[in-house]
Structure 1
């Protein structure tokens, strides 16, 4: 398990979004967040570190604009030997140099509640609500729907795209479960099928089972079962007539880039 401590002079949502987008690039089975919001004085900051007893598998992500708080954060991290990630300073410095302006140091200034912010929050909420086939009706209002067998990165890909403001629903394809009727009520171009190589799925699923403390040789990772699932998925995707992406040798951002380009293309056609 990885523990993320989030410290912010505002709500801390920006930090968590960055962490989740970064985690999507790795096989992280368990994570826990501890968020400390509206930290605007050194006393409050120091209290956070007074309660940190274990730094194993722990990272601190912070979004602070006050220079004194940033320095105090760095000193505290150094004292206990924990890695601290400053998510704002480098961006602020780059923009300052480009514009030749002094940055505003008002806490929370970078989190203005504009239309783009709300659009992203709505997209993330949508991805969580319609993840893993929880409610197939979500495909009717999704920007894109992702189909695929288990462990083809449907969820992390959905979250990555949500952070790009796209509303994504994802549906698992399982031979014993009927394909939701809603899938056939939307244009095929608004659906993406994901596939993976049997060998890669076998390794990923065995690793998943071991992480859960289960026998790695269960039916979930059995090669015959995997081949059955892939055959079923391919037949469904072929019936729908939607694009298919092989994710076996692609990082999340590569697959997302293909989908975003596809979305821009179909949106231009509307």
Structure 2
């Protein structure tokens, strides 16, 4: 089947995160379509909108909008109607439902969700925490973690930790290395600990890519890539099995990240961490 190519314009009066998420989730359902995204963020004046309309006219395609200002919305709708292009104001159904349910009029203020409130500072604090407790650093601070991730090298512990921090979750991560004793601080920790595991073949490819990035000549420390135990198939399989058994012995739940996105892994981690905190509510932490 031939690929269908379209331009899709995302017009937002804020950062555009909402539209990006909706567009990605929707476009993923179509296998034979190539979408060229045109992102227009922080559109809050007539001058801003004029630039958007020029872009839409130059690359015609449907429009997803989250613009709140009624005058800008009306101008966008009218211009797209003249160009015979569809516009979907993605917030309308939700706002209408909430307005009817709450009996309160929509404020119509762009970017109002991005405020320097308690949740914002919680995310900043979590980001600082991740930076200080990445890759087994500052083990004494693990008691402050909302969750601790463990796993072998290149099992996506660090990117998952940073994604969690953006959700306001303090996530430390500790590598599991065969032949290196597990830190006593980790074994005695009364915080949720989650293991991340990965298919050995996938892990080898990730590690090979990493080796080539840091050693373009094909060797690292005089050791050729194919002779490096870091990517030796048998050694990697043994390493993954050892790490899973270690997690099992300590009662740490394990998530297989082989076919999961960082977002999916993080959602599973949050669910496990929340379950742990519920079980231990009222106990010593």
Q: Tell me how far 1:268 sits from its aligned partner.
A: 3.9
SS in 1 for 2:243: helix
Note the residue ranges of structure 1 that are not aligned, 5 or more in a row: 27-33
Distance in structure 2 (CA, Å) of the matches to 1:86 and 1:226:
50
Pairs within 5 Å for 1:167-206: 167-175=170-178, 178=180, 181=183, 183-184=185-186, 187-196=189-198, 198=199, 201-203=200-202, 205-206=204-205
Distance (whole Å) between structure 1 residues aligned to residue 280 and residue 64 of structure 2: 37
1:44 equivalent in structure 2: 48
The answer to whether the aligner puts 1:141 opposite 2:139 as a matched pair is no
Structure 1 residue 8: deviation in Å? 5.1
Q: Indicate the residue corresponding to 1:158 in structure 2.
A: 161
Task: Indicate yes or no: 2:257 matched with 1:254.
Answer: no
> Contact 1:146–1:154 at 8 Å: present in 2 too?
yes
Structure 1 residues 183 and 258: CA distance shift in structure 2, 3 A = same
Check 1:247–1:85 CA distance in 2 against 1; reply closer, same or farther (3 A cut).
farther
**Which of the pair has the greater relative contact order for Cα pairs under 8 Å at 6+ separation?**
1
Provide TM-score, normalisation by structure 2: 0.59
What is the match of residue 263 of structure 1? 277
2:228 aligned with 1:226, yes or no? no
Q: Which residue of 2 aligns with 1:30?
A: none
Q: Distance in 2 between matches of 1:159 and 1:98?
A: 36
Q: Which residue of 1 aligns with 2:100?
A: 97
Cα shift at 1:86: 6.7
Note if contact 1:188-1:242 (Cα within 8 Å) is conserved in structure 2.
no
In structure 2, the residue matched to 1:110 is 113
Unaligned runs of 5+ in 2: 1-8, 29-38, 219-224
Task: Say which SS state the counterpart of residue 104 (structure 1) adopts.
Answer: coil
Q: Secondary structure at the match of 1:126?
A: helix
Q: How many residues align?
A: 244
**Residue in 1 aligned with 2:5?**
none
Cα RMSD of the aligned pairs, angstroms, is: 5.2
Whether the 8 Å CA contact 2:194–2:254 is kept in 1: the answer is yes
Classify the secondary structure of the residue corresponding to 2:238: helix
